[in-house]
Amino acid sequence: MYKDTEDALKDRSLELNEAIEYEKLRTAFFANISHEIRTPLNVILSAEQMIRVKLEDIAGNSKKEEVNHYMNVIKQNSNRLVRIINNLLDITKLDAECFTVNLKNWDIVRVVEDICLGVAKYIQDRDIELIFDTDVEEKIVACDADKIERIMLNLLSNAVKFTPVGGSIYVNLHEKENKVLIIVKDTGIGIPMEKKDWIFEMFVQVDKTTTRSREGSGIGLSIVKSLVEMHDGSIRVICEQGKGSEFIIEIPDKTIPDLVDKQEIPGNEFTPNIDKINIEFSDIY
């Protein structure tokens, strides 16, 4: 009996070790393939930029507008590939527990507002209203501004995808006890109740149709959830099909004491990254 138990434990240990090794190989594979894809993609993007420069030197070319159109197609679809690669790399880092947050004391109101300003024209060009509102003019909290930007850009791009022309997107910021709430709400198509509990899982897509304006891999919200949790926060969704979605982020209302004492508050230094915006919104047509 004892020998049978010992053999069973050895078999179980062997299975676990094999599973761990397989997971390591899978993680390494995704990291390597992502880097392999990124290299030729960077060459394509560099060539696209050079063609644009050369095109500007050609005066009076009747084909310039047509060429510009195709260059925009190259640029947008290259950005879509960059977005997919970035997501794969981030998932790989998260799986390997290699993803870290660089916490500093930021004025979260200014950070979120600047992100909204950075995407405002993009959203308004699609005849969608973007409204930012806050209950507090300034709120210093410990966070990673780059990760907050990643979170917000994903939620805003999703809101644009699923909000029809003439709709609205609201971004609100509130204080609640010892937490700061960031809310992204839209008047879009909403989320079916049967998918509500699954949307933060990897590869889950709200809309699986082939509609060109709603493409995506289903990875983004799982990354968003992980990034929020790395801030010791939480994210949830309130939704009803046909009546829009409301994503509520809660992060701790805390600061890093040493930085507060030194008054190292970089709230006015945050500038939204235009390239990141273009990449995050690249799968919206």
Domain end, chosen from 95, 119, 140, is at 95
Whether residue 88 is found in the same domain as residue 211: no
- Tell me which residue has tokens 């959203």: 123
Residue of 41, 8, 147, 135 lying closest to 90 (CA atoms): 147
Whether residue 228 is found in the same domain as residue 165: yes
CA–CA separation, 169 and 171 (whole Å): 7
For 264-277, b/e burial (b = at least 16 CB within 10 A) is ebebeebebbeebb
Q: How confident is the model at residue 272 (pLDDT cuts 50, 70, 90)?
A: confident
Contact yes or no for 188/172 (Cβ under 8 A): no
The H or E element that residue 248 is part of is strand 245-252
Domain end, chosen from 62, 95, 128, is at 95
Q: Tokens for 281?
A: 């919104």
What is the domain-level CATH number for residue 148? Answer: 3.30.565.10
Residue range 222-244, pLDDT digits in tens: 899 999 999 999 999 998 888 89
Helical ranges in 174-239 per DSSP H: 193-196, 220-229
- Tell me which residue has tokens 């240990």: 13
Residue range 148-207, pLDDT digits in tens: 999 999 999 999 999 999 999 999 999 998 999 999 999 998 887 777 777 887 655 555
CA angle 237, 173, 252 (to 5 degrees): 80
CA angle 84, 81, 281 (to 5 degrees): 80
Whether residue 87 is found in the same domain as residue 115: no
pLDDT at 135 over 80: yes
Task: Read off the pTM.
Answer: 0.78
Q: For residue 212, what pLDDT is reported?
A: 41
Q: What size, in residues, is the chain?
A: 285
CA–CA separation, 45 and 282 (whole Å): 14
What is the domain-level CATH number for residue 72? Answer: 1.10.287
CA–CA separation, 180 and 251 (whole Å): 5
The region of weakest confidence among 107-116, 225-234, 267-276 is 267-276
Supply φ then ψ for residue 223, to 5 degrees. -70, -45
- Total domains in the chain come to 2
Domain end, chosen from 47, 76, 95, is at 95
Residue of 285, 270, 278, 277 lying closest to 114 (CA atoms): 270
Find residue 182's DSSP bridge partners. 173, 249
pLDDT at 139 over 80: yes
pLDDT at 45 over 90: no
Q: Count of alpha carbons within 13 Å of 170, Cβ hemisphere only? A: 14
Whether residue 73 is found in the same domain as residue 128: no
Residue of 164, 154, 136, 243 lying closest to 199 (CA atoms): 154
Whether residue 153 is found in the same domain as residue 14: no
Can you tell me whether residue 174 is helix, strand or coil? Answer: strand
Q: How confident is the model at residue 265 (pLDDT cuts 50, 70, 90)?
A: low
The domain of 127 spans 104-280
